[in-house]
Amino acid sequence: MSDVLLSLDCVSRVYGEQVKVHALRDVSLEIRAGDFLSIVGPSGSGKSTMLGLLGVLDLPTTGTIRVQGDDVADLGDAARSRLRGDAIGFVFQQFHLIPHLTAAGNVEAALLYRGLSAKERRRRAFEALRKVGLDHRHDHRPIQMSGGEQQRVAIARAIVTEPLVVLADEPTGALDSTNAANVLEIFAEIQTPDRAICIVTHDHAVAGYTRRRISMLDGEIVSDERLDPSTGVR
């Protein structure tokens, strides 16, 4: 069985003191190497809270989050930040590219402060762009690229650090249907036996591209299904 990269064990997240909001309720989940999964649910279902916890951007009120077996609550802020930078890549709905940098420069920026030479940073950036089919656009700035191309640059930036898990938050939300399909195909292509891809979405059609679908409602996981990627059904 594949290694567990990221896990939640009986995790709850409660916000507020006077009026308590239970965003997650006793959730347990394992993400394994090779997973290509989606977390799907309507607004208010808890999926965004789940993303923040999986990405080590937040800590649970109760329960345990582990990255490769290590309890993140045992780490200080600096150690959690390093873990997040090393183990997790993020892709967002809005691409968050730096406008004055080229595609290669945006990808290369993720490698700053890692002790790499400029030549090695550039080599890795070009390789990541090649994986998303944009090496020929390496010298173009965001304004010169379509929305789909900008999202592919964002994916290249997420994978250039060779993370264990890529977390994508509504990555097709700002794209038309054609570009959305292209981006989802890119996610399928960059998934490897050693890496997990997790897409958080409200769109069941997007979830249907993945091989495992976790459905959420009212802060709880209501189903965890294996899918046929060719049909999006069990």
For residue 65, give the DSSP letter.
E
Q: Which one, of 142, 113, 141, 111, lies nearest residue 125 by Cα? A: 111
Q: What structural domains does the chain harbor? A: 4-226 (3.40.50.300)
Residue 21 pLDDT > 80: yes
Q: What is the mean pLDDT of the chain?
A: 92
pLDDT tens digits for 60-83? 999 999 999 999 999 999 999 999
- How far apart (Å, rounded) are the C-alpha atoms in residues 101 and 108? 10
Q: For the chain, report the end-to-end CA distance as a whole number of angstroms.
A: 21
pLDDT tens digits for 136-187? 999 999 999 999 999 999 999 999 999 999 999 999 988 889 989 999 999 9
- Global confidence as pTM: 0.91
DSSP-derived pairing of the beta strands 88-91 and 165-169: parallel
Q: Which one, of 161, 82, 156, lies nearest residue 120 by Cα? A: 161
- How far apart (Å, rounded) are the C-alpha atoms in residues 175 and 229? 21
pLDDT bucket at 100, cuts 50 / 70 / 90 = very high
Q: What type of residue is 71?
A: D
